[in-house]
Amino acid sequence: MSSPKPETPRPSDVYFFATCVVDQFFPGAGMDAITLLEREGIRVHFPEEQTCCGQPAYTSGFPDEARKVAALQLTLFPNDWPVVVPSGSCAGMMKHHYPTLFAGDPVRKAQAEALSGRVYEFTDFLVNVLNFKPEDSGSDCTVVLHTSCSARREMGVHLTGRKLLGDLGKVTVAQQDHESECCGFGGTFSVKQPEISGAMVEDKVKALKATGAERVVSADCGCLMNILGHAAWKDKQEGRATPSLPGEHIATFLLRRTAK
């Protein structure tokens, strides 16, 4: 479910880093993730000064600009609590790239390395720290899971979402063709290379629809925004009145399925 790591004691408090995409486009997913954590007895702390993790600038070749943004984030999590991030992409930036970003600044590099060890992608935290055992209260359904490139290749947590869904007794997880392939979002890649990105998301949406699943579930809202946006555009082109491919963040799906 993820690469072996030292066991993390179950915490009583965590920080929540929402990410830009969740904050601006999927705020409900962030609130649902927080509700799930609180339902597990965790006190969730949300530093209101948080902004972007700096990844868009970093991956676009602007390290100085990325450092300015990332430097603020380093100051927001002073207590030795886990930092839970509902995105493999942003978690990967904070965990794996912050130490490199501040390699020339000994003080901030030390802060980045300390923070790195406390960053968890949301599904990884549920499975490997909280040992979350969902009790399914929903009806039978079939879903298809999309895992982001960063969750799969950078964070190594592409199986934790599948485990969470698989633990829901009435949920069948459909297998898609080309499961490990990118949806074409890639942050600024979709803006810089729209033709290539468009072809990639076209293939991804076709593969997801071909499973016959009722909805797509993902732990990364950037991917969801791209996939659902393309599916909605296709629906409009084809004159569909209802979405042919509904979808939501895994936190929203889990919260609804496990409602008491």
184-210 CB burial, b ≥16 within 10 A, e <16:
bbbbebbeeeeeebeebbebbbebbbe
* Residue 129: both structure tokens together: 């720290």
Q: Which residue has the tokens 């729209």?
A: 194
Co-location of 84 and 181 in the same domain: no
pLDDT digits (tens, 9 = 90+) for 19-59: 999 999 999 999 999 999 999 999 999 999 999 999 999 99
pLDDT digits (tens, 9 = 90+) for 139-194: 999 999 999 988 888 888 889 999 999 999 999 999 998 888 898 877 677 677 77
In a domain, 6, yes or no: no
State whether 86 and 117 are in the same domain: yes
Tell me what the mean pLDDT of segment 80-96 comes to: 96
Q: Are 19 and 97 found together in one domain?
A: yes
Q: Is 1 within a domain?
A: no
- 119 and 198 in a common domain: no
Tell me how many domains the chain contains: 2
117, 199: one domain = no
For residues 17 and 122, state if they share a domain: yes
- At residue 4, the pLDDT reads 46
Residue 2 within a domain = no
Task: Give the predicted TM-score (pTM) of the model.
Answer: 0.92
Note the pLDDT of residue 5: 54
Summary mean pLDDT of the chain: 93
pLDDT at 21: 95
Same domain, 162 and 94: no
What domain range includes position 199?
A: 141-257
What percent of the chain shows pLDDT beyond 70? 96
Predicted pLDDT of residue 3: 46
